[in-house]
Chain A
């Protein structure tokens, strides 16, 4: 069994990068053995996932009277008032803040991680080996435990209560997982391609952009989306490192809406729906990249 390991992973990565390619014959023979517990569990879990989402969306269209009087699973007079209320309460400002922080973190994180990954995978020096080990260590440490020193540093750097205070540590925290996933993809780029470019006189800098980047583009997109999710949904940094209402990001705004709207649960849930909508759109557009890429990145 151990003999087959090396080929397994490479064969699999190729499949993930080209979803259109045929799967091996396993498909046909598997069908003869139905996985009953799996099937049952799968549909049950689907219900577990769908029901709360259905409840949230449905309730967000109820007025308060309807919320208290009608069944949680049914709606009689759908209304958009809750959405109007959320939008009137600075939702778009919080949305813009989230967008700035997310883009401001994800793009630099991708750039530095990609460069580091290229060096780590293609390079051989002891320094790069140590760097890689340090990043791997970052995966094993609950990094949020460092929040107090980060808070101290941010105050000292005069960055407290700015969006930059959210961006800088977010970049750092994105690096370990980014390097892990990108390295898995980059190791699958055939060495011969690099060698032939090197013979043509290409520098490493040029090879990185002209060969490594196009060849690992799916993984780059995966990492970008994954990090965007993390930053967009991040709660601890905004909670600790900002305080003014003007600088609230969406997760924090949900929390404050909860206090502000009080018993108006439908309005709070409308805010939840609105805050998730952009990610849902992104997911619909880039689903294959995210799901396929994540599975590949962690299956190493």
Chain B
């Protein structure tokens, strides 16, 4: 080992040997990459979670791809992704730009904004279940009858509740990312615009927004990939119901695998989940253009 490092030094190629990365790589291979391969294999098998695993060919795939429940789960998931993006991005950007200012009370706001991120999704879901109760929840206290709906029992409303609760929990995180992005914008750009007589709104659209390009991509990527992992929140909040109205793909996968004991079909759903996540992430990264990949590769 030491001779290896010594020989590298002699060649004046500064840098450690690869073994330092091996422990992390091993963990990641064994508990992430190998299971990723495993899920593909299992999607061609029959397994009830306990007994033997048998070859099933394309049976699981034909089953899930023709099942209306799967199609529904895909549609619900797409809705969650799109609405989450449309709701969370403008709010996070607005708040991020605002708390990037340097006044003391803005820092205090940032402190409070972070609190929802400390709560587990299970805790958030339980809290909202109590809070949204039409009889004993918040609506009664605020005395706004319009709020006293059967939020979680009405299939038309439940999905929007889910999207709202997701936003409640995750907007703070994206606000933080935007705050960081805004702070990187050089002050000189605004000073120049100021001299040119550009107003606040013009400054936002001509300086802030273009300069935040990479921040928007980072935030969107995390948001979209995250949308595919809101399993626990929805599981506790609605269990996928009423009916199938909030049964998003990861939840559908869990229920298929661990409640209906159809691990083959659940694995096929997991493969779909991975493919969607990867595709969306790659598309978003591609939107960032060449600069982005260059910045990721710098220092390699």
Contact = CB atoms under 8 A, between A and B. Distances in A.
Interface of A: 1-2, 4-5, 7-9, 11-12, 15-16, 23-27, 29-30, 33, 35, 37-39, 41-42, 45-46, 48-53, 55-56, 59, 67-68, 71-74, 111-113, 115-116, 118-125, 127-129, 131-132, 134-153, 168-169, 171-173, 175-176, 179, 183, 187, 194-195, 198, 203-205, 208, 229, 232-236, 239-240, 250-252, 254-255, 258, 265, 268-269, 272, 275-276, 279-280, 283, 287, 290-291, 294-296, 298-300
Given A118-B20, A251-B232, A53 B141 contact: no
A294 B131 contact: no
A59 B130 contact: yes
Q: Is chain B's binding surface mostly helix, strand, loop or mixed? A: helix
Interface string B116-135: 11111111001110110100
15 contacts: A12-B184, A37-B94, A41-B95, A45-B113, A45-B171, A73-B141, A123-B20, A128-B18, A141-B36, A141-B278, A145-B36, A173-B32, A176-B28, A295-B177, A295-B179
Interface stretch (B8-16, B66-74, B153-161): B8-16
A183 B21 contact: no
A127 B32 contact: no
Contacts of A119: 16-21
Given A8-B184, A125-B18, A140-B281, A235 B127 contact: no
B28 A145 contact: no
A24 B120 CA distance: 38
B227 to A, nearest CB: 9
B31 A171 contact: yes
B101 interface: yes
A113 B28 CA distance: 10
A139 B126 contact: no
A258 to B, nearest CB: 6
Interface in B214-256: 215, 218-219, 221-222, 225, 228-229, 231-232, 235-236, 250, 253-254
Contact of A139 (B203, B225, B299): B225
A201 to B, nearest CB: 9
Contacts of B97: 35, 38
Nearest to B9: A198
B257 to A, nearest CB: 5
Q: Which 8 A-B pairs have the closest CB atoms?
A: A26-B187, A295-B180, A149-B38, A38-B98, A72-B141, A140-B281, A172-B31, A233-B120
Interface residues of B, number: 123
Contacts of B38: 146, 148-149, 152-153
A142 B115 contact: no
B113 A148 contact: no
Interface of B: 2, 5, 9, 13-21, 23-25, 27-28, 30-36, 38-39, 42, 47, 49, 91, 94-95, 97-99, 101-102, 106, 109-123, 126-128, 130-131, 133, 136-138, 140-142, 168, 171-173, 176-177, 179-181, 183-187, 189-191, 194, 199-200, 203, 210-211, 215, 218-219, 221-222, 225, 228-229, 231-232, 235-236, 250, 253-254, 257-258, 263, 266-267, 270-271, 273-274, 277-278, 281-282, 285, 291, 295-296, 298-300
A52 B168 contact: yes
A55 B127 CA distance: 9
A141 B276 CA distance: 9
Q: Is chain A's binding surface mostly helix, strand, loop or mixed? A: helix
Nearest to A73: B141
Contacts of A152: 38, 42, 47
Nearest to A129: B300
B34 to A, nearest CB: 7
B120 A35 contact: no
B14 A194 contact: yes
Given A35-B200, A119-B16, 19 more contacts: A4-B186, A30-B102, A41-B98, A45-B171, A59-B130, A71-B141, A73-B141, A118-B16, A137-B278, A140-B281, A140-B282, A146-B32, A172-B28, A172-B30, A203-B5, A276-B120, A294-B176, A298-B222, A299-B181
